[in-house]
Structure 1
Amino acid sequence: MKKNLLVGAAALFSSFLYSQTYCTPSFASGCTYGDQIDSFQIPSVAFSHTDTVCSTGAYGDFTSQSINLNAGVNYPFQITHGFGDQIVKIWIDFDNNGTFTDAAPELVATASSILQGNDNITYGNLSIPATVTPGTYRMRVGDRYSTDPIPCNTDGYGEAHDYTVVVGAAPSCIAPTAPTVSAITASGATLSWTASSSAVGVGYEYYVSTSQTAPTNTTQATGSVTGSAVLTTPLSNLAPVTNYYVWVRSVCTATTKSSWSVSTIFKTLCAVEVPNYTFDFTGGVTECWQRADAGTPAGTPSGNDSNWYEDGFLNNGYEGAMKVNLYSNAWVGRFDSWLITPAFNLSGGAYQVKFDYGLTQYNSTDPSSLGSDDLVQFVISQDGGTTWNVLQTWDASSAVSNTSTPYSFSLANYPGANTKFAFYATNGDVIDQNDTEFFIDNFTVENTTLSTSETNKIKDKIQAYPNPFADVLNITDISGVQTISVVDVSGKIIKSFNKPETRIYLAGLPSGMYMIVLQMKDGSKQTIKAIKK
């Protein structure tokens, strides 16, 4: 009799669930242009709904498909789309009242798409609160182009799917929450999290990756901490200017571990360069070069825009140098444009800075001159960019050639460990007829202590270290290097660097032996064997 009552109650509950009248979302512009949920996968529970293309009316009722989840568990998911800039939200009607609340606890996931290769993919975490009562619920997945979808959507491009989820009881060991990263440097950071609500008898494990792919229950942790009260750990040996994803899990007993937490993402900072360093501006500047559009060398630059941009040196070709166009008229006011280098550690030797420069008329190779209050300055900072000293000024009185002119400056009096250089340009306040372009190329900071014979032999002494290496391989001197290629033992080129830097980042390579091929500027070639650990 008791069994019959339970079966009857379950049937009644299921009938109640599906008797609810849910709004049917719509998207005025539809999903036929790629703004669809083309696939929806939750790998940890083996749920995969693929190749669904654009549903009729931009809505698919897939409640005949059930997904088994547990309270208190985070589930990484991924969705593919036919077009980029998609925003995804997922809701579950935990009170079975026929509506989805666009806030926690019923809003269980928010994420946005990225371009990965040729694919537009949204990676995210679906988090079931530990307090949810086990039962059967309706889940809605909404996707909208460039704007947050809402449960009862009506506008925009996008699509929505409905599914059934069956939520089971929370496991005995629940993951920690709110992983965060602070104190980020070029090679390290500090990871913290909020303690698990479970009794954590052993400690916590964490997993660090350069991939968004979530770890599984069998994934080997990167590291661990012992003790339930230890809620932070340093992360070290990281590569500069790299995105990292981090997950944490509880180790409740020697044999019981939680699922992994939601992930957090952070990016390491640019490394401080130790010369020799050469940058030829092929492809413009990297993110370790900064731009600014406010302030003068008498103060501190600010902003993140600039009138410095890539073009052919002295208007020969279309790439490989940086230039600033200096002009003014009744519609163009004064501008202050900065191009700021990475930081350099100049404490370990005698160095000089050098580059090539020149001036032409706008969009021409013809000679020109700067306007009455036009100004270009080469400046230096020894405190990472807060205060600046002027090393060189070009103004209306300067006879700047329309052919390549070398510039060099001894840095013997500037031994700072956090030194930056910058090119500052302004068109001033006076409206002049001059319409000129100032160019720079081949920016170099190099050691000046080598003898002539040593300089002639420098390319024969180029080394790569550490060898074997883990993620980063350092090249001792790239001043004479045109390009760097990484070749595997089969002869296949794995990576190419057309703008060589002293550090090359190879964290994603499998372990094994590689050939580091250095194509020199004089036409010669050198090969260094390197082992990836």
Structure 2
Amino acid sequence: MKTKFLLFLSLFIISFQIKAQYCTPNPTSVDGTGITNVTMGTINNTTVAETDNYGDYSSQITDVNQGLQTSFSISYDTGAGYTYETKIWIDWNNDFDFDDTDEEVYSGTTDGNSLTTLSGFFAVPASAVLGNHRLRVGGQDNGPVTPCYNDSYGTFEDYTINVVIPTCAPPAATTSVTPNCTSSQYFVEVNVTNLGSGTPSITDGTTTWPVTATGNVQVGPFAFNTPTTLTLQHGNNATCNVIMGTYNYVACPPANDDCANAILLTVGTTYNDYITDGTNLEASDSTETITTCNGLSGGDIWYKVIVPASGSITIETGDTTTAQTGFDSVIAIYSGACGSLTHIDCDDDSGPSSYSLKSVTNQTPGATLYIRVFEYANDVLGDIGISAYDVPLSTTSFDNTNFSAYPNPVKDVLNLSYTSNISKVAICNLLGQEMFKKDINASQSQIDISSLTNGAYFVKVEVDNLVKTIKIIKTN
């Protein structure tokens, strides 16, 4: 009976040994030659396309330090150039798989160039068991990359790491980013909590900041939207250098990021009179009343306007004052007070191109209206121009008795005359969009409007800084 038991046990152990092996990735294709080099510690392995696009180089071993970081680089040749999602797995518990939650140690994606290199680091847990562990690196461009990948367009390689006890104690720190909105710069606040066994310092690869004691070290400044990688150096042994990470601060939120800080628009008589520039860069979502127009996905900015005596106002978005093309805007107009706004109306694309244009009437003169502006779907960041205007029908400061404009309705030529020189004439449609503009500098003028389509227009006649606005009808 004892002999049978021992025989059964031996067969079980042999069977387990046969079955206990790592899965073999089997990508059916690869772009270019896939992974061409892996460098990590003492491993520097340059390869060509492998059979079944998998290379078992587990005989190549490099030491990694328990509780410290290990840097690496992975180079690709993807032929015509494709993005490859890339991961590194390590079998920390040596159970012949990479399924445990802590065994994916790196994830990144190549930039799409034909020849490209991913560089980074992974942390070796302080609890990592000493000795050898299988490491697998893999990439693909046709679906989620998994350690046992067997779909198309992939590339995989295996190596071995040997966890050893480090010969130095690394410094330690926590970090936070502090912006300076006035100067468009940011600082990284490094709170050093342990000096380690060396003489630490902080570097971005160009500048070095000394560390003389535990506590805060302000590193910078760096320009907005400039990523900076910082390393906490041991000072005596590079093995114990700590890559703290890559930091960035894109921009400060706009000043008019919320309703309470809405920017006041000056009311003109055309869009071009008083254009105000704005940006949705780093704008956040408001908690104000929702709009009935589609496309609100966060990132709104706010303006306000005082309703003129006419009770009517037009809000329009467009190019900036520097003629920069703005984003695909949506506007919503509200009455009331911030925190308890009432939605009046909204518009997406009634203006030229993808700009917004909305006129509201019968508003209370002197009341404040709030305008919410956002980019449709909030997937494009950039600048925008916005203007508020009201086209008056007449002016009391103009000598109407000595002014004539005929015929009206008019077919081709509008005749204008006044007792003094007319400096300029502009014609706008009922939306306030300028259709025609001309310098006159004469007491009489004939304005050719034959190119205008039939309909109603406002004609603005300027004399000595006084403006007379009349309404005409263009006919055939």
TM-score with structure 1 setting the length:
0.45
TM-score with structure 2 setting the length:
0.50
Q: Which one has a larger percent strand, Structure 1 or Structure 2?
A: 2
